[in-house]
A = this chain, B = another copy of it.
Amino acid sequence: MTELEDAIARVRADVAQLHSELVRYGLIVWTGGNVSGRVPGADLFVIKPSGVSYDDLAPENMILCDLDGTVVPGSEGSDRSPSSDTAAHAYVYRHMPDVGGVVHTHSTYAVAWSARGEEIPCVITAMADEFGGPIPVGPFAIIGDDSIGRGIVETLRDHRSRGLLMQNHGPFTIGSSAKDAVKAAVMLEDVARTVHIARQAGPLIPIPQEAIDSLYNRYQNVYGQSTDDRR
């Protein structure tokens, strides 16, 4: 196996396995959600096929695409269609070279904030740690051209947050790897739910900006055994 084939095989395995984390944390129902991962050192990424049951996801039916979102002809799994959100993932990889993974779900509380087009305020310390501030809202954009991908990139490019809420649609998250983007998706739904519930019962206490900065900087630089798994 060449080094590239080896890298592709590892990303296929990661992406297939990480979908089970979306199920474990209740972020998706039926087949609605997708994870992709960039192949290190190549202009390629791996994404799930469209409309296949999560019970049937395996490395060999993941789909290899170039950065235009075109399926690599003759590659394993290339007889299937890739996720309907492939164009948005591809746009992100083309325009954000540091991004190694992208995740999209329709997780309940994140979609609820999206349907109101309202950013999630940063009122809990775990959110300051993980996102460094509020979760921003991206534009209303429908599938069919680059408008979803562009909305993600323009919203996240100068933002600390690794996740956003596309209006009326739902959350997208990015990360240094597919696993890091899945972690961001899990944490985003967690803060969306917690802040929703907190606010139902009365006014929230803001966290001072300097405390948010201090928590974010410490968490990004100090904790965990690796960059993917902190806390």
Task: Report the interface size class on chain A.
Answer: 35 or more
A interface with B by C-beta (< 8 Å)? 25, 29-32, 49-53, 80-81, 83-84, 106, 108-109, 111-118, 123-126, 140, 142-144, 167-170, 183, 186-187, 190, 193-205, 207, 211, 214-215, 218, 222-226, 229-231
User: Chain A: interface secondary structure?
Assistant: loop
Closest approach, in angstroms, between the C-beta of A200 and any C-beta of chain B?
A: 7
Which of the residues B53, B115, B211 comes within 8 Å of A195, measured between beta carbons? B115
Closest approach, in angstroms, between the C-beta of A106 and any C-beta of chain B?
A: 5
Contact call A214/B144, Cβ cutoff below 8 A: yes
Neighbouring B residues of A226 by C-beta, 8 Å: 51
Neighbouring B residues of A207 by C-beta, 8 Å: 140, 168
Nearest B residue (CB) for A203: B116
Contact call B193/A108, Cβ cutoff below 8 A: yes
Neighbouring B residues of A199 by C-beta, 8 Å: 201
Contact call A114/B109, Cβ cutoff below 8 A: no
